Amino acid sequence: MDPMPLIRPALRLLVVMLALAVLPAGAEDLTDKQPSYTRIAAKCGEDASRPSFAASDYAAALVDAARALRSATKEGSRARISAINQSVARLKECMVEEERKFVIPSINNCADFVIAYRDFATRSELAIVKGKITAKERARLREGFRKPAMDCVRHIMSKCIDPTNTRTLDFVIMVMQAAADFRFIRSYRDETGLSRFLIENDPTIPRMSFCTDTDYACRGDPAMCAWRIDAAKNIMQTYLDE
């Protein structure tokens, strides 16, 4: 009995299974090997799950596309000309979409939060001025920073602040000013009587505190000192309203 009729179907099935197993990686590798204008056009987009590209990346891709278009025109290749033009059109769309795209980076500590949120605040304000997003859209996007902001404030309020450590004090001020946009930081500076007493002495209420008493003395530039003292006095009368 000839075994080959039985073996051939099994071999064909094995070949198909192997091809399917390597297809995703092979497809991705092929995309990465494409010219810059094709590769970026295939991967860019407003969706946060897609990679972001810098203005320099788009500029370089458009230059590459212009060179390729001249070559395709000389060859008279209509199919290639059409493909390049489609990639260029998509690149231009992505450049506009990139201005509306806000990806929240990995935030592992309060320094990460301050840097990321300041960048978001600056970029989103410019996007509103340019008419790329609305104030309502910015408010929605900003909510992604709420938890890191609250985590940072809670961490800072969990321990006292050394009033003589200028660098630490300035950093605390930066964190508190950034987190203030989320409106969970309250001030008891205008509270009196029992209400103020409870806020200042309830151990379950996270609040700012200095490690030692201070007269808020400050050396250096008078203008900078005035700003630091005013900011320090304000944040030292705050608590976390959860």
Could you tell me if 79 and 169 lie in one domain?
no
Query: For residue 27, is it within any domain?
Result: no
Last residue of a domain, one of 98, 127, 152: 98
Could you tell me if 58 and 129 lie in one domain?
no
The Cα–Cα gap between 217 and 16 comes to 78
CB 141 within 8 A of CB 120: yes
pLDDT score, position 64 = 96
pLDDT score, position 21 = 44
Last residue of a domain, one of 38, 67, 98: 98
Query: For residue 23, is it within any domain?
Result: no
Number of domains, the chain: 2
Q: Which of 53, 21, 17 is nearest to 37 (CA)?
A: 53
Query: For residue 40, is it within any domain?
Result: no
Q: Which domain range does residue 65 map to? A: 52-98
Could you tell me if 140 and 233 lie in one domain?
yes
Could you tell me if 90 and 149 lie in one domain?
no
Could you report the per-residue pLDDT of 83-127, keeping only the tens digit for each?
Answer: 999 999 999 999 988 877 887 888 999 999 999 999 999 989 988
Could you tell me if 164 and 198 lie in one domain?
yes
Last residue of a domain, one of 44, 78, 98: 98
The Cα–Cα gap between 105 and 60 comes to 25
Could you report the per-residue pLDDT of 39-74, keeping only the tens digit for each?
Answer: 999 999 888 778 889 889 999 999 999 999 999 999
Could you tell me if 58 and 114 lie in one domain?
no
Query: For residue 61, is it within any domain?
Result: yes
Could you tell me if 114 and 163 lie in one domain?
yes
Query: For residue 197, is it within any domain?
Result: yes
User: How many angstroms from the chain centroid is the CA of residue 59?
Assistant: 23
Query: For residue 116, is it within any domain?
Result: yes
Could you tell me if 135 and 235 lie in one domain?
yes
SS (H, E, C) 127-160: HHHCCCCCHHHHHHHHHHHHHHHHHHHHHHHCCC
Alpha carbons within 13 angstroms on the beta-carbon side of residue 222 total 0
pLDDT score, position 9 = 46
pLDDT score, position 104 = 83
Whole-structure pTM value? 0.66
Could you tell me if 150 and 235 lie in one domain?
yes
> How many Å from the N-terminal Cα to the C-terminal Cα in the chain?
81
The Cα–Cα gap between 59 and 63 comes to 6
Could you tell me if 196 and 86 lie in one domain?
no
Query: For residue 14, is it within any domain?
Result: no
Could you tell me if 82 and 193 lie in one domain?
no
Query: For residue 30, is it within any domain?
Result: no
The Cα–Cα gap between 230 and 216 comes to 9
Could you tell me if 89 and 119 lie in one domain?
no
Token couple for 49:
């799950």
